[in-house]
Structures are given as structure tokens and as C-alpha cells.
Amino acid sequence: MCNIRNYAVNTVPEHTFALILALRRSILAYADAVRRGRWQEAGQFCFFDYPIRDLAGSTLGIIGDGVLGQAVADIARGFGMRVLFSAYKGSTGMGPLYTPFEDVLRQSDVITLHSPLMPSTRNMIAAPEFALMERRPLLINTARGGLVDEAALADALTAGQISGAAFDVVTAEPPAADHPFMRLLDRPDFILTPHVAWASSEAVQGLTDQLFENIELFRAGNPRNLVA
């Protein structure tokens, strides 16, 4: 049995920060503007059509305190970000290492999701939660589709309640043509990638090696990772 999670420890956090940086510095928007001839139109050495913000000194709210959330926190600290780990929604008394869920929503400049999808986490961010986001954060989801009410996300982005969003996961994959995200694809503040945060060449090779090793162990009469 191949364990994707083992190989996601590096690849998912890197993808998460690729999305954060792309939005925080409007990289895709500027690249598209250059393709459209905007630089020549500006007639000077640079132009400032889209916001550019540093990560240093900003606050990252992490929802999900497992190995992936912890790895994302390590990268964030390297950028000089303040890191808040969210307490579970609706929970109290989790200790000083956790910030209440609602406070994370209010204080964060970037919010990133690394939670499993369970009944208690389904649509944990919806219209009421977007209304609490005082700092108009970026919202990043490389965890599971269904953690965010996707129609509410589209409404929040359109209304300016958040500054941008980047998702690698959707409730139904691939999304249907009428999915709320599909009408956001031309926006400079929205990125959708096709569930590839885990899929670096190194991770895929590691999974392939593990698969062949499992087969060889089974043929040798020494099976591994048995499921009862």
C-alpha cells in the first residue's frame, strides 16, 4: 500500500507557498499583463496595475495542525510571518498554542487549510466566516474540497471580503462547467490548480518505488502494509 501522505510532507507545503506568493505579489496577473502588451503600453520601466505585498510581518492563520500544517508553519517563519494555529471550530480550552477559530479569521492576512474532510469540517468556512475576515485575507486550500462553501467563496471574492483565493481541490473533481469556480478563472486574484499539490516528480517517483517494493515483498512471501 503506497502512502501518499509521506511524500506530501514536502510537496504540499511548497505548492501552498507557491500559491501564496503568486497571489501576494500578483505574479500571474503581471505575467498576463505583459503577454497582453501592457508593458509597451505603459512606456516605462515598470507599471503598477496590481497589488504587491510582502509576506514578512504579515500573519498566517493555519487551520489544521498536523504534519502538513506544521511544515507550512516552518516555511512561513522563514519568511518572517507571524503564525497562528487555529483551535478547532467550536472548541475551547485547547491551550495557549492555539488561537480561537474566529480570532484566526479576524487577524490573518493569509489563511491556509490543512484539515481532513469530516462532518465537523464540511463547509467550515462559509458566508458567516467570510464576514469575520476583517483583514481581507488570501484563502488557500490544498487540503480537501468541501472544507469551504464554494458558492460562498465566489461571492466573498466578488464582494471584496477576501483579497484572493487559490484552491488545488474542489468538492467534485473535475468541476462541472457551471461550478462557481469556473466563473472566477479570468480574475487576477483567483488560482485553481488540478489537485496536483502532492504530485512533484520526486513524490511520484517515490510512490512508484514504494509500489514496486510492495509487490516484490508480496511475491517473496513477506507482504507489508497489510490491511486487516
Give the model's pLDDT for residue 59. 98
The one catalytic residue among 35, 41, 173, 219: 173
**What is residue 202's predicted lDDT score, i.e. its pLDDT?**
77
What are 179-193's pLDDT values in tens digits? Answer: 999 999 999 999 999
> Average pLDDT in the 117-146 region?
98
Instruction: Judge whether 14 counts as a catalytic residue.
Output: no
pLDDT over 80 (residue 62): yes
Is 173 tagged catalytic? yes
The pTM for the full model equals: 0.89
- The single residue of 135, 144, 213, 219 carrying the catalytic annotation is 144
Residue 35 has pLDDT above 50, yes or no: yes
Q: What is the pLDDT, as a whole number, of residue 203?
A: 65
Tell me which of 3.30.1360.30, 3.30.230.10, 3.40.50.720, 3.40.50.300 is the CATH number of domain 4-219.
3.40.50.720
In order, the DSSP letters of the chain are ---HHHHHHHHHHHHHHHHHHHHHTTHHHHHHHHHTTHHHHHTSS----S----STT-EEEEE--SHHHHHHHHHHHHTT-EEEEBPPTT-----TT-B-HHHHHHH-SEEEE-----TTTTT-BSHHHHTT-TT--EEEE-S-TTSB-HHHHHHHHHHTSSSEEEES--SSSSPPTTSGGGGGTT-TTEEE--S-TT--HHHHHHHHHHHHHHHHHHHTT---S---
> Mean pLDDT in the chain?
91
Q: Is the pLDDT confidence value at 99 over 80?
A: yes
Predicted pLDDT at 162: 98
Which position among 25, 106, 122, 195 bears the catalytic label?
195
- Predicted pLDDT of residue 221: 77
Where exactly are the structural domains of the chain? Answer: 4-219
Q: What is the pLDDT of residue 32?
A: 97
Categorize the per-residue pLDDT at 5 as very low, low, confident or very high, splitting at 50, 70 and 90.
low
2 or 90: whose pLDDT is higher?
90
Whether 25 is a known active-site residue: answer no
Q: What is the mean pLDDT of residues 122-139?
A: 98
